[in-house]
Amino acid sequence: MPSPQEIGERIRAERIRQRFNVKRAAAEAGISRDTWVKVEAGASVHDTKRQAALDLLKLDADGVPIKEEPTYVSGPGERVEGGGSDDEVLRAIRAMHEDIRTLSERVARLEEDGPT
């Protein structure tokens, strides 16, 4: 099990990775700025205060990011293994939308130019 100092370092690194400053992170976690600084330093704080910081940053009790299971878009029919996550489906839809826009622009140019 990591020491409070190691957990504090992980919390600090994750806060920075998620682009929170100390003031905003503390406010969103519902703790004071001074308490947040103590959490990152590995100082003695009430467990609920440290947990508030971990929860905000989606870290487990050891300060390790919690791996969330992908969520899936529901659709007609039975669910099959290997289905895409919501993010994967949205990326595919955006790519198709871009392809349609590009094709629409090409068709409009061809219609403007007339038959060759």
C-alpha–C-alpha distance, residues 31 and 38, integer Å:
11
Identify the sign of the CA torsion 90, 96, 100, 103.
Answer: positive
- Residue (of 67, 63, 66, 65) closest to 2 by Cα position: 63
CATH fold group of domain 4-56: 434 Repressor (Amino-terminal Domain) (1.10.260)
- Mean of pLDDT over the chain: 86
Q: Which residues contact 83 (CB under 8 A, 6 or more apart)?
A: 72
Confidence (pLDDT) at 59: 95
Are 62 and 8 within 8 A, CB to CB? no
Domain ranges of the chain: 4-56, 70-116
- Residue-wise pLDDT for 28-54, tens only, equals 999 999 999 999 999 999 999 999 999
With a cut of 70, say whether residue 116 has pLDDT above it.
no
With a cut of 90, say whether residue 94 has pLDDT above it.
no
Confidence (pLDDT) at 90: 80
